[in-house]
Structure formats: structure tokens, C-alpha cells
Amino acid sequence: MATMFRKAFTVAEANVLVPLLEEVIAGIRERMENAREMADKLQVLDLVWDGRFREAGNPDREEAEQLGRRMATLAAEIEEVIARGSLQRGLRFPQGGLEHGLIDFPTTWEGRWVLLCWRSGEAAVTAWHELDGGYAGRQPIGPEHIRLMGKPPPAWDL
């Protein structure tokens, strides 16, 4: 079977990362909230100046440029936090994951790739789903999953 992911996480390995991932999600959320506040300020300037707030001589031009630069910096910081905190570890944010604090851990179950599913605020990883199952397809992790998930059958060349 071709490897879809770099690593198959065990449930225990995923749970070790939960405290770090709470910090990652908190950092992303803080930066996203700051970016929203700046976007709101830019929108006000846009309304006040009828879209001309960046024209030369406009008294709010410098503020608008500073907001734009800070938003770009925040976007870069968010990308860095995502890369360092999750993507480089082989984790993924599903669609809508950033907004809802969802992170998936690739794992194996019964000879196929599946995903352990964790949501910010949960004390541990307690659910999994098929690759196309999404959050709605979450299933509880039982003792057999804990024992076997993330451990490839001998025939696999991971």
C-alpha cells in the first residue's frame, strides 16, 4: 500500500501532543482576532473615505498602511504557527479546522489510513473518522483502537 502520510500516530502519541496543540490553537485564535479587528478598522476607513483612504495626502493613509502591514505580518505569523505547530509534525487541519480548533492525526486501522480527530477543549483524543468522514463521521476510540491504531501490519512498508 502506498504511504499517504509520513507517520501513523498511535492514540498515546496523539494525546501527548494535546497540550502543545492547545497552545498552537490559542496562538492562532489570538492572531486571527487581531487580524479581524484590523480588518474592521480598515473597513471603517474605507467607508469614511469612500475607498480613497490610501491616496496621497489623506490624513488616514499612514494608519491604513500600518494596519495593512500588521495584517500581513499576522498572516505570516499564523502560517508559521500552523507549519511549526502542526504541519511539520504530520498533522492536518481539516476544512474549517482553524475556525473550530480541529486537528486530525493520520493513523492506521484495519490496514487502511484513517484520522484520529481532536477538537480544542477536549482533554484527549477520543474519536476517529474515515478520511472522508469529517467531524460528523467521528466514532469513539475503544480499547482495541488504542491497542492497534498507528501500528502498521507487518506487510506495510511505512
**Residue boundaries of the structural domains of the chain:** 20-89
Model pTM greater than 0.95? no
Work out the average pLDDT over 37-41.
93
How large is the angle between the packed helices 61-85 and 11-48, nearest 10 degrees? Answer: 170
pLDDT at 15 over 70: yes
pLDDT tens per residue, range 104-153: 999 999 989 999 999 999 999 999 999 998 888 999 999 999 999 998 65
Tell me how crowded residue 66 is: count the other CB atoms within 10 A of its CB: 12
Residue 98 to residue 105: CA distance in whole angstroms: 15
Short-list 127, 131, 123, 118, CA closest to 89: 118
Residue 86 to residue 74: CA distance in whole angstroms: 18
* Distinct helix (H) and strand (E) counts, the chain: 4, 4
Distances 7 to 13, 58, 87 between C-alpha atoms, Å: 11, 54, 12
Chain centroid to Cα 48, Å, comes to 35
Distances 117 to 6, 14, 40, 111 between C-alpha atoms, Å: 17, 9, 33, 18
